[in-house]
Structure 1
Amino acid sequence: MFPPQTFQLHLLTNLYNKHTIRAVDLNSVKKAVTQSLWSVCAECLKERTPFEGEPSGDVLICLRCGFQGCNQSEAQHSTKHQLAQHPESHCISISLSSWKAWCLECNEELSTHCNKKVLAQTLDFLQKHSVKAASATSSKVIRLREEPEDSADALRGRGPAISTLIPVKGINNLGNTCFFNAVMQNLSQTHLLNELIAEVKEKGHKLKICPSPETNLGPLTITLPSPEPLTSAMFLFLHSMKEAGKGPVSPKVVFNQLCHKAPRFKGYQQQDSQELLHYLLDSMRMEETKRIKAGILKAFNNPTEKTADEETKRQVKAYGKEGVKMNFVDRIFVGELTNTIMCEECAHISTVKEAFIDISLPIIEERVRQKGERTVRSRLFEFAGPSSDDVACSSRPPGGAVATTAAHKSRQAGAVEQLVSTVSRMGLSHTSGERIPAGVCCEEQGDTARQPQGAFQALSHSYMPCSKECSVQSCLHQFTSVELLMGNNKLLCENCTERRQKQLKRSTADKRAEKVYTSARKQMLISALPPVVILHLKRFHQAGMNLRKVNRHVDFPLILDLAPFCSASCKNMVAGEHVLYILYGIVEHSGSMRGGHYAAYVRIRAPQRRPEQRRNMSGPKECSTAMPGQWVYVSDTSVQVVPESRVLSAQAYLLFYEELL
């Protein structure tokens, strides 16, 4: 529901509408809604053969008679009803998804806080009825029988009936917490999260740690202590979402636990769903990391810095390095990006790896890529020089290339802090004493460094977007495209600088070589994929002193092939095969920066095989056009089945994809 602040502008211009007196009848609305299906277009019910009714896109309710009609571009049953001949005016309606009131005759939005109390009273009644309807149906929601177009039996209404029990419950809004509810709906439908958190919820859970072969250590089985408060609250919430019984579910316990970890969410102010997701997952990751470390220390009889000998310290460190990566957050959501940069003068190649919990994609607007969006990623290349052991490898091959810009010559001292900040924005905060999974800043000099021609090679042929295309694939294409570093963005190449220094030493011992800046190429590619990939469409960005929202629709596929955006050396992948992920959840943001609303679309489907059963099939996988499962729209406590077409028209903010096994 939109907060009252949404309507402040209307209070100045639309305090009074001349049609309110004769176009709003609260008693008629009350009578109508109690005698009909809630949030279902009455005309769609008549025109099609329903099993138990059908939700029809965005439904508007007439405030004169209580007629519920869809606002779809094809049918427009709500508009047709308002334009039909009536003895009285039926020009005012309210959207049951956004709760906005609209006068058709005036062609303007109305303030529900105007001096006509009947409008505000009607809105209040409808909102309360919406909560009651969701509670009464609990997990039972409306569903239409499947009707294949080429089936005569289906057209005559003799198709097979499908069960209407959908395991989705609404979530109570605690006060401007729709940003939280939308994320929680998607997490509740993340099957692997439900499975792994159930495994580790109990005290005494056993965890087997296998360190890397070079440590010459065998496996270690540890016993984990009790889970921390946020993880425990999360498990109870997920369990209650699956439990049979009344809905909706209250998220108060888990939300309060999160507020203890991140006080910024206290106060019940509207917040950002992506930031919420980061804080929630990272906080649980920190709790589980702490728990695993405690289990390792207990296995060694809790040694201290004073009592432990060097061999014990080595073993604890080795097991801890592998053990912390076994927390359920890393196993589900954390992947790896690799930045590759090559000097055009000496062809030296260096790489920087970083963990991600989601991938933030700038939305391609009508004009060419914005300069500011490019520089966010190019900052990462300033930090290939020596840095703290907390975030960088302890050893570095001599003569490596360091990426920086001529305008940033004096900023090397802050390299570590800026890198950590950048990694945090990519989705995983680095905390003291904890290791970022997969290595955050680590130069590699492997096969890629010895083969410049293959430095920028993807797992499959590049995706080529069409002209003016705005899709997830085109955004990923922009994100992973090769860029030239020229002008003020030239590369500070240590290799070229070292060569220049040697030349000067041979000619004179008094002169010292200046740093050499060269043109270079750089590219970001995915080098490790998690079982669940979350894509963040950057709809909000700074425009001068204000935040601006990009409302452009972004097309997204139900099945996404990530192979064109993965490096040729991507872990557990084979060149030439498809890397398929299937969409199962969306967080949608509607409205403006002043007053918006977050809602969720989730796909109810059967769980897939465990992610440990990795893809071993050679050759491309077949893309099935038949999408199993049923899409459900959830707005706080309101739950309804929706057609796939409505899902594809959503203004997506976060997209949840799971590996197609």
Structure 2
Amino acid sequence: MDCPHISCVKITRDVIKNKKNLCSTTPLSKLIWKCLDCSMTKDNWMCLNCATVLCGRYENGHALKHSGENTDHDLCMNTNNLSVYCYKCDEFVINDSSDNIIEELRQELKENDTDTVSETSSTLEEVSSSKSTQESVSTTSSTSSSDSGWEEPLIGRRLRPRKRTISNDSNNENSSTKQRKSNSTIKRVVGLRNLGNTCFMNSVLQSLSNIQEFSCYFNALPSLESKQIKQRAYHSRSFKENLDNVFVVEELRKVLLNLSQGGDGTKAAISPECLFLVIWKVVPQFRGHRQHDAHEFLRYMLDRLHTELQQVTILTGGAITNLTPAITGTGTTTTNNQSTTTSATSTASTNSNSNNSKNGKDLNKMATLYPTINSLAKNTRNSIVTNVFGGILQSEVRCLICGMESKKHDPFLDLSLDIPEKFYSSDPDNDTSVCNISDCLSSFTDVEELAETELYYCNSCKCKQKSTKRFWIRRLPNVLCLHIKRFRWNNFYRTKIDLRISFPINSLDMSQYVLNNGPETRRSNSSCNIYDLAAVIVHHGNGSSCGHYTSFAIHNGMWMHFNDHTVKEVSPNAVADCKPYILFYIRREAGNNKTS
């Protein structure tokens, strides 16, 4: 819903015009925003009524305080990702003013953001009000000592450029420049900012980012704003209205691309705020800042991605379609056109040409390992979601009276596993064994007798009869997602089964749960049923609506612990000791005899 308080935007075009006047001579990319009250340099918001810059509610809350103390100062713009928020509605703002001043301000700031580390989280430059300010800055800078810095209040803002060292020794200057360039090229794993109880989302995003087949696809995918993309015909008006100008795919693409590019020491974390804004719009139940279930978010996101990807087509002749490999009958891949790598890389890399080499490596790896974007585009029933996470279950219901069997095949993106009750008995004396993930899988596939309330209609007996039911896995997915059902209803409230469950980091054998005469899975001519762990999501706390989510994922051969903006390398033993909530296992390639 559009914000009814858009009239609170009073910022004038003069602010933008003054910035244009400064762009030609002032290195604006060297300036950073800071809070007027506390000098905080992160999570700052600019009031769209008076242009005052103040810190957000998750720092010292000066922007929120400013809104409460001043009439019609409810709308503000984030100085990192340019999103607009209304404190009165307590929601992000999607609409613009009648003269589109918000979008114009965004575009003007984007054009001069030359030092961005990511598409969704970038350092924005201050806006000066006059040329005289610029001249004053220039004079002050040229006469300052190596340890000096300056501050310039302007339109309720305090400007603070980064400190600069001035030296007459050209060799030292060149050496310093080279050192800065060297440091800026060091890539490191980055975290995700918590936007207010968004750890459930961050843990899912970091897990998906480290599933190579999934992330490589999005890194190679062109922007949905690109001419290489067109929307397919819609089947219903309601879906069209819901999808217009709202693409979870596009915002997720940006986040995954930023995470894959990593940081260079200047950015501690990436803000997924634009993605969260889109999620708020398409899935209203995730609005607000209360805690949500990570598994529920994962399923909503995967379903939405699948739906959106079915509605777009990569145009024939585009860089991506020319680059992608063709899958042969034996499961190997060949590249159709090696010479198009640079073109495709340029399409996928929206930040700068300097990313082409890195993205080219990702695309080449994708071309030799994974299914093609082109093949997915031709099959409107499939998407990268079903290609990576999709498997098939076979359910068998058997009448206990006549013995007639009924079989049904159902697709799945994950398996939700119950913890066998014997492992969380209220009697501590019965807690004599440790629950293993294999116990949960066996419970899922074991034969169970249906309750009286679930009597099955037998076509042979022509009435409802007692029956048994069991599941088989008919086709395993390339990435096996296992959800441990830790939350259950106890009378009128949900409780958590905070039980330690052992699981293998390497060599999870799924053979005993697979139908013997089932079809072979994709990309393999010898149906390998062995999986290796790629990521784990952990819930800390007692309740589903409270607590905290973190994740572990293997990145370049090392296990990393992702706790919102904090990233730390850990040992495999630390991973094995966690209490898993969601596990992501990657199918091992046939012939790979990796052992734990």
| Greater relative contact order, per chain length (Cα 8 Å cut-off, separation 6+) | 1
* TM-score under structure 1 length normalisation: 0.45
* TM-score under structure 2 length normalisation: 0.50
